[in-house]
Chain A
Amino acid sequence: MSNLESFRNETRDWLEANCPDSMRTPIKSEKDICWGGKRFEFASDDQKIWLERMSSRGWTCPTWPEEYGGGGLSKEEAEILKEEMSRIKARPALISFGIWMLGPALLKYGTEEQKKHYLPQITRGEIRWAQGYSEPGAGSDLAALRTKGDDKGDHWVVNGQKVWTSYADECDWIFALVRTEPDAPKHLGISFLLIDMTWDGVSTKPIKLISGKSPFCETFFDDVEVPKENIVHEAGRGWDVAKYLLSHERANIAGGGSGAQMNPASAARQSGEVDEDGRISDPILRADIARLTIDALAFETTLQRIKDQADGGQGVGAKASMLKYYGTELNKRRHELNMSALGSDGLLWEGDNPEDGDPARSWLRSRANSIEGGTSEIQLNILAKRVLELPGG
């Protein structure tokens, strides 16, 4: 038996023995997601046990090195773990910005001390991270940010405001872009700082979204003292880190990770749109759903193809923008179609069950997919310039 085969068997046995039954059901709503962090309240004992078991093997971050709390798995092994988890429909034990944004950036740009200190806490879900990029005057034009850090020798004093910081009021730490070299050119004056949200001068204020939720905040920095060792990479070179992290963020958003999975075909069944042969009876709805199915297959196969290219040593680069653009637009279409298929069932906002209103909330939330992490327009700009090499304006 090959190594991979025996790895598969062991993994299968371990998952079978360790994944609680209630963690083998689809994620239905936000509360089913385990974000971790000091302030996180587990929805159930199983959710907590599942996180502990998975992180004790390093399997919340399977490919990170073991010395930093990861699983030390090869790409192939990590793929097998993923397959075996999806075989039993196991939920991810932990979802976090630490895993899919900060972690990769620290692995690439962090000092040894930073890696040793932060990464294991991320893998165990002990600290939850917020992303402090956007500001009121700097969204798409991120480098226009004005939050500033005054150099005081062994620390910076940070002042300014961030906006759209997802879950900031529930997070323990924030990684923030701060202008530390006021006289340098736009992209060269920015530093990437790690800031504890319990420090003096950090405060947050929630913003309510059209989905009725308010997981987004304004975050304020008021004379916050940030020690020099809390910088990632060099002073003034934060843009490199920011961009690297964005490419991971985009790949992830493109993957459609926005909470509950919607399936318009079963939505149509739920609302009774079926004929005696079990087919969706409205021919136009049926065609729309079939076309969406084809486009979703096109997207999935493209993810696979780009992965094959990357494994074969071809850089992915700006193609992350293609996936972000197409994946998020597709997800919006899926939610819209889901709402059409549900008819008035989809309009419910509040009811007796906790999951009542989920379709409408997820549909509304999905509109942000093509805004967060860089808007669709910005992705198209990137494709035009970097892939097609069209001339500048």
Chain B
Amino acid sequence: MTYILSEEEQMLRDSAQAFLAEKSPVSELRRLRDEGCKDGFRHAIWKDMAEMGWNGIVIPEEYGGVDMGYTAAGIILQEMGKTLAATPFLASSILCATALRYGGTEAQKSAHLPKIAEGEKVYALAVDEKARHDAKHIETRAKKDGNGFRLSGQKRFVACGNGADMLIVAARMDDESIGLFLVDPEADGVERTLRRSVDSHAPANIDFNDVKLDGDALLSETDDGAALLDAVLYAGRACLAAEQLGVAVEAFSRTIDYIKERDQFGQKIGSFQALQHRAADLLTEVEMTESLVVKALRQLDESPSQAPFWIAAAKGRATRVSRLSASEAIQMHGGVGMTDEYEIGFFYKRAQAAGEFLGDDAWCTARVAEMSGI
């Protein structure tokens, strides 16, 4: 295992940087917000990303993907974190693609994975039913009904839920096991409520009222749905940690640039030791987090059975440090840091939202305690 990026990975990072700087800088997120965009992302940009091959980054080539793995996905997400790109990448190309890849039948894979890879349709994963992430708490029911199922329950704050063309829903089956179901959000009995979030994303609460599903809606390649869901969520957390790292890195580097320029008391504020020490401390925190994130992603690619432990450590730390970096950023920017016109506040908001998604610091730390037998 190496912590150094390969040449191929560096090229990916460079092209992601260039693409996002042009197509999806922070001002683009502001525009989405100001226009009141109901989907929370720009379809045209999503199509362009598909052309770059990103949307199929963890999808096998036979289903239209490029199959570069999670480290590569993390590299893209880290760059997305730096520009706060609002895209269905995590929801569609990571969470749902992983669910289909490892849980889908041949027919399901051929039907859906190419759509994700080509950006033709946006997929979203509906898991949470409580305000704090807890994938063990699933009360949504999929009752057997002839050859198919009847789905009832409520999902909260589904990421990209409002703009999604297809949902993958976690539900409890008659024998109390977990199943993942493909559900068309336009089907009878599905009701979506847009929940605009503080980070200018567009998640949705989704109610399922006795929704009729065919038998082949169930991802049934594996008979352990709970394990499948767990693997999907861990893959998501690893990639999300990379995005959080991007948020931390960018908020930090903007802060350093700022304190090098801003004059007070006849000197640059960056010359004050009180700020220098906090900046140096933050540098250290960010660097320590980066190592863990790289480790978690590589583990996921190279020895997935060991990965959950490293991913929990990385996501927990990335949650802590991205919030720290963004809140220190506001403080060191002083008054302008509080203005909506200035971009730094967007990073603070995203750090909070990404931290809650898929398990915050406390949740991740509890998993580390569990897995290391503390």
- The answer to whether A291 and B365 touch across the interface, beta carbons within 8 angstroms, is yes
Chain B residues closer than 8 Å to A384, beta-carbon distance: 273, 276-277, 279-280
* Complex: chain A residue closest to B373, CB-CB: A278
Q: A287-B362, A391-B268 are in contact. Are A380 and B280 (CB under 8 A)?
A: yes
Set of chain B residues within 8 Å of A309, measured between Cβ atoms: 3-4
Specify which of B271, B276, B317 lies most central, judged by the most chain A CB atoms within 10 Å of its CB. B276
Tell me if A289 is interfacial: C-beta within 8 Å of chain B: yes
Are A377 and B256 closer than 8 Å at their CB atoms?
Answer: no
- Chain B hits for A294, CB < 8 A: 292, 313, 316-317, 365, 368
B291 and A325 within 8 A (CB)? no
- Interface contact B272-A393, CB-CB below 8 Å: yes
Residue of A nearest to B261 (CB): A391
- CA of A390 to CA of B368, assembled, Å: 37
Q: Which residues of A contact B78 (CB under 8 A)?
A: none
> B4 to chain A: which residues have CB within 8 Å?
305, 308-309, 312
Q: Interface extent on A, as a size class?
A: 35 or more
**Given A293-B372, A383-B284: A301 touches B271 (CB 8 Å cut-off):** no
Collect the chain B residues with CB atoms within 8 Å of residue A304's CB.
Answer: 3, 291
A286-B272 Cα distance, complex, nearest whole Å: 38
- Cβ-neighbour of B259 out of A291, A325, A381, A390 (below 8 A): A390
Q: How far is the CB of A7 from chain B (nearest CB, A)?
A: 21
Check if A368 is an interface residue, CB within 8 A of chain B: no
A388 on interface, CB distance cutoff 8 Å: yes
| Nearest A-chain residue to B270, judged by Cβ | A390
Whether A280 sits at the interface, judged by CB under 8 Å, is: yes
Inter-chain CA distance A75–B290, complex, in Å, is 25
Q: Are A297 and B283 in contact (CB under 8 A)?
A: no
Q: A280–B292 Cα gap in the complex (Å)?
A: 25
Bound Cα distance from A393 to B273, whole angstroms: 8
A17 to B88, CA, bound (A): 60
Overall SS of chain A's interface: helix
CB pair A287–B277 under 8 Å, yes or no, is: no
Encode B273-305 as 1/0 by CB contact (under 8 A) with A.
Answer: 101110111011001111110110000000000
The closest CB in chain A to the CB of B2 belongs to A308
Q: Are B365 and A308 in contact (CB under 8 A)?
A: no
A window 267-306: CB within 8 A of B: 278-280, 286-287, 289-291, 293-295, 297-299, 301-302, 304-305
**Beta-carbon contact of B292 and A322 below 8 Å:** no
Tell whether B374 is near chain A: CB-to-CB under 8 Å. yes
User: Complex Cα distance A388/B369, Å?
Assistant: 35
Q: Does A171 contact B (CB under 8 A)?
A: no
Known: A290-B374, A301-B3, A391-B268. A295 touches B280 (CB 8 A): no
Q: Is the CB of B267 within 8 A of A391?
A: yes
Which of A101-132 touch B at CB < 8 Å? none
Scan residues 37-91 of chain A and give those whose CB is less than 8 A from a CB of chain B.
Answer: none
- CB-CB under 8 A from A153, the residues of chain B are none
Q: Is the C-beta of B260 less than 8 angstroms from some C-beta in chain A?
A: yes
Does A4 touch B at the CB level, under 8 Å?
no
State the Cβ distance, B257 to closest chain A Cβ, in Å: 10
Q: In the complex, which residues of chain A have a beta carbon less than 8 angstroms from the beta carbon of B271?
A: 390-393
Contacts of A244 in B (CB 8 A): none
Q: Is B187 interfacial (CB 8 A cutoff)?
A: no
Contacts of B295 on A, CB cut-off 8 Å? 297, 301
CB distance from A332 to the nearest CB of B (A): 15
Question: Using Cβ atoms and an 8 Å threshold, which residues of chain A touch B273?
Answer: 381, 384, 393
Residues of A within 8 A of B288 (CB): 295, 298-299, 301-302, 326
Q: Which of A290, A308, A322, A377 contacts B368 (CB 8 A)?
A: A290
Q: How close is A139's CB to chain B, nearest CB, in angstroms? A: 17
* Distance (whole angstroms) from the CB of A325 to the closest CB of chain B: 6
Residues of B within 8 A of A325 (CB): 280-281, 284
Chain A CB count within 10 A is highest, among B268, B277, B287, for: B287
Give Cα distance in the complex from A297 to B291, angstroms.
9
A390 lies within 8 A of B287 (CB): no
Check B366 for interface membership: any CB of A closer than 8 A.
yes
Contacts A287-B369, A383-B283, A388-B283 given; 19 further ones with Cβ under 8 A? A287-B365, A289-B374, A298-B292, A298-B313, A301-B292, A302-B287, A308-B2, A325-B280, A380-B276, A381-B273, A381-B276, A387-B280, A390-B256, A390-B259, A390-B275, A390-B276, A391-B260, A391-B271, A393-B272
A binding-site residues for B, Cβ under 8 Å? 265, 278-280, 286-287, 289-291, 293-295, 297-299, 301-302, 304-305, 308-309, 312, 322, 325-326, 377, 379-381, 383-385, 387-393
CB pairs A–B below 8 angstroms (22 shown): A287-B369, A295-B288, A298-B317, A301-B291, A301-B294, A304-B3, A304-B291, A305-B4, A305-B291, A305-B294, A309-B4, A322-B283, A322-B284, A326-B284, A377-B277, A381-B276, A384-B276, A384-B277, A388-B280, A391-B267, A391-B270, A392-B271
| Shortest beta-carbon contacts, A-B, top 6 | A384-B276, A383-B280, A305-B3, A301-B291, A290-B369, A298-B288
